[in-house]
Amino acid sequence: MNELLRYYKKIILALILPIVAFAFLLIARIPFAVYAPGGISEVEDLIEINYNEDKEITGTISTTYIMSIQRPTYFQFILGTFSPYSSITVLSSGYANYTNEEISQISYLDHVTSIDASIIIAYQKAAETNSNIHIDYDVKILVFGKAVYLDHYDEISFGDEFIQMVGDGDTIVTTIDDISTYTTLSDAYDFTFYNSEKGQYTVTLSKDEEYDKFGITLKTYYLVDDSTIYPTYTENSSNIGGPSGGLLQTLAIYNHLIDEDLTKGLKIAGTGTIQYDGSVGYIGGVEQKVITAYLNKVDLFFMPSLDPDYASDNYQVALQVCEEYGIEAEGWLIPVSTFDEAVAYLEGLDVS
């Protein structure tokens, strides 16, 4: 009887152990990031400008997105190592203390604020030659980062608006720079924020002894005033996060506001963040974005280039990727440092 029992135990273990091991591969996560090629997304599917509706646009302008997996499972990690186009890195120190849900919240904040920046820059550029177009915006300070030592960590959300802080001598502080100026006499101060769901709320934040900081990162954003903008626009929902579509968003919006068609029948894509002064900022995932554009057969691809002599310049890295994969870069990979440069390039194209 004992021999039979041991026999069945061995069978059960032989069946269960592989299942447990496979479940572990599917569930357990590790501190890495996996990046793989994704796709392109036409900007007009995201942002519809209610203007020039009879204008014929013969080509397309698209942002480029990649597949990004933060803290992959062992199974996802293994799949990434076998993909010829994927790259795997250690999870960045900036994300190390955040949950995947929090990383998604940051990505969403980056995305929605980049859309506002794109709209502002495109409308301002179009208004230079069309006085009917106008736009106003609000300057707001939003929560962009939280340290593990932040008081009331769970109460303060990414994207909450900073209203004020009561500083030394009961000074009401409303700017980022003045926070450090008026917080020298005490270790704790009252901060007031606004959340669209919770409304206005006040919390007391203490300085961390080691860093002498409150554990919160604030950033200044320009947000469109929808009540005064002309022409109006409709923003559709999207699963794409991050700010790297800024340049192409701006180009597509601007193209809807002017009479000529910048696309000239071409399939245009690219990448690059957009700053409020119209400059283009660096992005990550250069290799995967170049490959994504090539696989999607785009006609030209914009890439940020701020310092051509710098080896890690996005454009220089992209050139190396093109060489590695046999992609003809000349006339296809276009370096730009500002929105105006991208517009000038498209205006000067002769596709006849």
| Backbone torsions φ then ψ of 163, nearest 5 degrees | -100, -55
**E strands, 286-332, in order:** 300-304
Out of 13-22, 145-154, 295-304, 308-317, which region has the weakest mean confidence (pLDDT)? Answer: 13-22
- Please compute the mean of the pLDDT values over residues 234-250 and round it to a whole number: 92
Q: Which domains does the chain have, with CATH numbers?
A: 38-70+104-133+231-347 (3.30.230.10), 140-221 (2.30.42)
Reply yes or no on whether the pLDDT at 9 is more than 90: no
Reply yes or no on whether the pLDDT at 184 is more than 60: yes
Task: Report the amino acid identity of residue 58.
Answer: T
- Please compute the mean of the pLDDT values over residues 183-198 and round it to a whole number: 94
Question: Whole-number mean pLDDT of the chain?
Answer: 92
Reply yes or no on whether the pLDDT at 77 is more than 90: no
Out of 17-21, 213-217, 243-247, 347-351, which region has the weakest mean confidence (pLDDT)? Answer: 17-21
Out of 64-73, 128-137, 293-302, which region has the weakest mean confidence (pLDDT)? Answer: 64-73
Most confident of 12-21, 26-35, 119-128: 119-128
Q: What is the spatial distance between Cα 119 and Cα 128, in angstroms, rounded to a whole number? A: 14
The pLDDT of residue 187 is 93
- Please compute the mean of the pLDDT values over residues 267-281 and round it to a whole number: 97
> If residue 192 lies in a helix (H) or strand (E), which one and from where to where?
strand 188-195
Contact indicator for 336, 345 with CB cutoff of 8 Å: yes
The pLDDT of residue 4 is 64
What's the pLDDT tens digit per position in 314-326?
999 999 999 999 9
Contact indicator for 194, 183 with CB cutoff of 8 Å: no
Whole-model pTM: value is 0.90
- Please compute the mean of the pLDDT values over residues 22-26 and round it to a whole number: 72
The pLDDT of residue 329 is 96
